[in-house]
Amino acid sequence: MIVEEAVEWIHSRLKFNIRPGLSRVAALLKLLGNPENELSMIHIAGTNGKGSTVAFTRSIFMQAGLKVASFTSPFIETFGERMSINAQPIPDDKLVYYVKLIKPLVEKLDTDEQLSGITEFEIITAMAFKYFADESVDVAVIEVGLGGLLDSTNVITPVVSGITTIGLDHIDILGSTLEEIAAQKAGIIKPGIPVVTGNVVHEALQVILETARKNVARLYQFKYDYRVELEENEHFDFYSSGQIIEDIEKSLTGLHQVENAAMAIELSLVYADKVGISLTVQQIREGIKKAYWPARMEKLGENPLVLLDGAHNVHAMERLLQNLKTEFCGKKITIIFSAINTKDIAQMVKMLQTVENSRLILTTFDYPKALHLEDFRYLEDDDVELAPSWQLALVRMKKMLKEDEVLLITGSLYFSSQVREFLLNG
């Protein structure tokens, strides 16, 4: 088996779609010897900001000299980055090894009517835990795939949990109100396990507070237990109980990344206290400064400035628009946007149409759930351009735009992944 065949087999399980529940992944992990029980973990849920918070947290512990695993989704550069150690994707030979190990176990479970149809995400969750345990990592930072309560990562008992933000997304699965979605995210809260929250809206925070109370779980709230003060050039000061760090420089662009970085610092401090290790101010500073996370206001070209941002839902789009007003006020902006059909595309387009001095191009891309341009012909009456080929639109815009203009590519992270590969390797 070669790595392409291994990934193809994993992807073949996409036919089972998203199937919330823990029984299948628990059965697979049992056959693997329950490797998750060998790991010291941080578990992070939320509508947006999870990936960036994972990146900042991972970077802090790497600066402290620890062997740090991270489990994230979706991938932007390579499939193996979903399960990384010290920010390095799982090597191809090891990916093949674990597919060979897990494939017969999945086939065995497929013969059980109650446990058949293990999904792609359940497989890579189990694979990641086994890989991390075999490599004896010091800490594993685990990102929830979807929701929390019934997400396959929720078989773990972490040292600390985190919930970044709550917004309306995946309403067909998680619920149609902020309270319902918050209940799903809060499902990662375990008895006696501390939980850190990011900038969560009041309605959702009340649900989290009640869930934490029932689980006797200590809650560390943004603006209450820890806070930030903005300085120039998006630098910030961090304040927490017994810890003050001034003039922190972050690597990721955007004011919302201040909140993600602050939450990562608080998560790291709570984790360090629980496991009995120390983090220095310098390690935290360097961790925030050196964190890397692609497709988040990522600069991929100059003259004109080319930016890539995976604003894949309404909540993320709100953050993007805030950043555009702050960072690029007065500049002419051309926006190329695409998304998958499970998102509120119409609402996101309306939001993008509010960007001053902008030109909006709607496109599609190679993905089973990518939007169909035919469904959005009505937007042409609102001066939204429809481009069947994002590649041609991108090349044309890069040639046409003036040096002081901005080209922004945004929308689905799956779309961002394809654009990024085209720009960097084309």
Asked if 44 contacts 140 with a C-beta cutoff of 8 angstroms, the reply is no
CA 331 – CA 323 distance, rounded (Å) = 13
Residues 256 and 359 in one domain: no
What are the C-alpha distances in Å from 30 to residues 9, 134, 244? 21, 15, 43
pLDDT, residue 406, reads 96
Tell me, what CATH number does 370's domain have? Answer: 3.90.190.20
pLDDT tens profile 180-207: 999 999 999 999 999 999 999 999 999 9
pTM: 0.92
Q: Is the dihedral of CA 320, 77, 271, 231 positive or negative?
A: negative
pLDDT, residue 363, reads 98
Residue 200 sits in which domain range?
3-290
Confidence band, pLDDT 50/70/90 cuts, at residue 17: confident
Structural domain ending residue among the three candidates 290, 317, 343: 290
pLDDT of 171 > 80? The answer is no
How many independent structural domains does the chain possess?
2
Residue of 107, 77, 100, 101 whose CA lies nearest to 89: 77
Residues 311 and 277 in one domain: no
Structural domain ending residue among the three candidates 264, 290, 316: 290
pLDDT tens profile 311-334: 988 989 998 999 898 888 889 999
Q: Largest alpha-carbon pair distance within the chain?
A: 62
Other C-beta atoms closer than 10 Å to the C-beta of 409 total 29
Tell me, what CATH number does 265's domain have? Answer: 3.40.1190.10
Asked if 84 contacts 70 with a C-beta cutoff of 8 angstroms, the reply is yes
Lowest-confidence segment of 34-38, 80-84, 316-320 by average pLDDT = 316-320
- Three-state DSSP at 228 gives strand
pLDDT of 426 > 70? The answer is no
Structural domain ending residue among the three candidates 290, 313, 348: 290
Asked if 34 contacts 137 with a C-beta cutoff of 8 angstroms, the reply is no
Residue of 194, 415, 173, 388 whose CA lies nearest to 308: 415
Residues 135 and 235 in one domain: yes
